[in-house]
Structure formats: structure tokens, C-alpha cells
Amino acid sequence: MRDVAALAGVSAKTVSRVFNNDEHVLPETRTRVELAMRELSYVPNAVATTFRNGRAPVVGVVVPDLLDPFFAAVAESVNHVAVEHGMSTMVTTIGEDAEQEGTLVGRLLSQSLSGLVIAPVATDNSYLTRWSERLPIVFVDRAPGGVAADAFLEDDEGGARMGVTHLLERGHERIAFVADISDVPTGRSRLRGYREALAEYGIDRDESLEVFGVVDRESAAAAVTRLSALPDAPTAIFSSNARSSMALVPELRDGRFAVVGFGDFPMADMISPSMTVIDQDPALLGDHAARRVFDRLEYPKRRYRRRTVLPVRLIERESCAAGR
């Protein structure tokens, strides 16, 4: 920057203002600086910027799995907002192992980030406490545990109740609950909504209809085989998330079960039968979370609502036939 300033006959601060499109720079000064930049092939040094500001122009994004279309949409939405604000994103996936979450997130935070958007798998996030006063941390999809932080969530319990009620209203009384893992807050909330909907219709809980571990085609096939073999087999399935729903698709072609899935996914409307879903709008969740990071950076003293729950909606398609 000093070399550009010397060649253009201006101060280093003026070079910075030109690069950042400051409207108060005189046109003739801007022209001289831009010519000098091109002549010297000048690009800004992000490391130097980090030393000056104490943080890199990067927002961290932590999600369990980018193969899950829900979390992929969250990450893409955060990146879109970051680019709007002249920053980039650094994404880390943490899988489903809660014990390694703190280590993996700590490595990301050691990069002197400007903010963090996280969808955790651990229920205890107290490891973030020492970071929470240094940069904005915003939780998405899953609420924080053990640390004070902003969170943008969807109505998991209400959405599950809505989906199961949709099946009940169409005559299904034996409804299975299918999920990938059982110990994440979103899964517990959706299971609670499933049970509440059945109870409202006077249907007792049947543990044999609650199946976990559906993460791929093999486990989905095993789950459907197990459910079909029950003496009083279910006529419908409520799938707790898009990952399980996608795994179930090959097993649902014969129309044995009516299905509602929590979370839309690519081509859910194109498969046969097309799948009825509870739509979460992950892009909106990511957008809200990212904008809160930048609001916190710009107005650090302002007070914000810590917990925001976004509504979900049912998208009815072909997969909900009347009960048999």
C-alpha cells in the first residue's frame, strides 16, 4: 500500500479509501491511485488487515454435514450475506460426534474470525463461553446450551404435530416415527410433537413404532422391513428430517406407507409419489443468523432478542393417501 501511495503521490490512507470505494475521494485522485494499483498489481493483504483489526474478514460456519441439503442451504445463505458485507466464509463440518465438537470449533475460532454461525450437535456448548465476548456467535436450528448466545430456530415441536395431525386427519392411526439420531434437541422436539399429536387423538404411545438410526439406504430398508413385520404394521410414516426422508425414498415407491417428512429436499416434488413435507426454509434461517452477526459487529451495544423461532408450513403433495 505504501508503494502505491508513493507512486500516486498520496497517503496510504487515501489508497485504502480508494480500494474501499469511499465516495469522498476526488475523481482525479481516484484515477491516479487506480493507475498505480494496476501498474504495481496491488491486492490488499488480508493478514495485515487481521493484525490491524484483530479479526479476519471471515465468518465461520459450523454444521454437522454439508451432504444434508438443510445445512448446505444454511451455509450458502450465510455466505451470500457475508459477500454482501465484503467478507467470506470458512465452513467446518463436525459430524454427529458431540465429544469432538469443541475441538473442531476451537480450531476454526483460532483463525481470528469476525463471527460464527453454528448448528451444534453437542447439548453443552459452554466451551464457547471464552469466545462469546470476543465475537458474535449465533446458533441456528439448535438452541445453545451452557452459553448465552443468539439463536434462530424453527418450530420443531409444532411442525411435527402439524405433520402427524395431517396423517391422522386422513385416517391413519398407526403412524411410525423415523429419525437418524435420537439425542439432538431438534429430534427430541419433533418426537415430542409426534407423541402430542397422537395423544390428542387418544392414541397411546407405541415404542415399536419409533425407529432411529435411519441415515442411509441400508438402514432405511432395515427400518421399513422391521415396521412392515409388526403384527399391527403402520400405514404411515413421519420422517423427522430430510436426511432420513431421502434415505427412505427407494422404500416408498410401492405406496405401502403414507409419508410426511420434516424438511423439504431437492426433487422431493419430483419423486413418485412426491413427498408431503414440513418446510423449514433453511435459507431464511441462515440469512437471519448471518445478518445478526453483522448487526452485532456494527452495533455492539444494542440489545437484541436472544431467541427467535420461525414458523414452518406444510407443503401437501402426493404421499398422504387415506388410511387403509
State how beta strands 58-63 and 88-93 pair. parallel
pTM of the complete model? 0.79
Nearest to 258 by CA among 199, 169, 318: 318
Q: State residue 324's pLDDT score.
A: 43
Q: State residue 45's pLDDT score.
A: 63
Say how far apart CA 286 and CA 114 lie, in whole Å: 16
Say how far apart CA 99 and CA 103 lie, in whole Å: 8
Q: State residue 47's pLDDT score.
A: 52
- DSSP for 58-110? EEEEEES-TTSHHHHHHHHHHHHHHHHTT-EEEEEE-TT-HHHHHHHHHHHHT
Q: How far apart are the first and last CA of the chain?
A: 74
One digit per residue, the tens of pLDDT, for the chain of length 324 reads 889 899 999 998 898 888 777 888 899 999 999 999 888 887 766 555 554 555 688 999 999 999 888 999 999 999 999 999 989 999 999 998 889 999 999 999 988 899 999 999 999 999 999 999 899 999 999 999 999 999 999 999 999 999 999 999 999 999 999 998 777 889 999 999 999 999 999 999 999 999 999 999 999 999 999 999 999 999 999 999 998 999 999 988 888 899 999 999 989 999 989 999 999 999 999 999 999 999 999 999 999 999 999 999 999 999 986 544
Task: For residue range 76-99, list pLDDT tens digits in order.
Answer: 999 999 999 989 999 999 998 889
Q: State residue 253's pLDDT score.
A: 86
Q: State residue 51's pLDDT score.
A: 45
Please say whether the beta carbons of 262 and 160 come within 8 A: yes
Q: State residue 144's pLDDT score.
A: 95
Say how far apart CA 153 and CA 128 lie, in whole Å: 19
The strand pairing partners of 31, in sequence order, are none
The strand pairing partners of 249, in sequence order, are none
Number of Cβ within a 10 Å radius of residue 169: 11
Please say whether the beta carbons of 33 and 15 come within 8 A: yes
Say how far apart CA 267 and CA 274 lie, in whole Å: 8
Q: State residue 279's pLDDT score.
A: 94
CA 228, 234, 239: angle at the middle one, nearest 5? Answer: 95
Nearest to 117 by CA among 297, 286, 309: 286
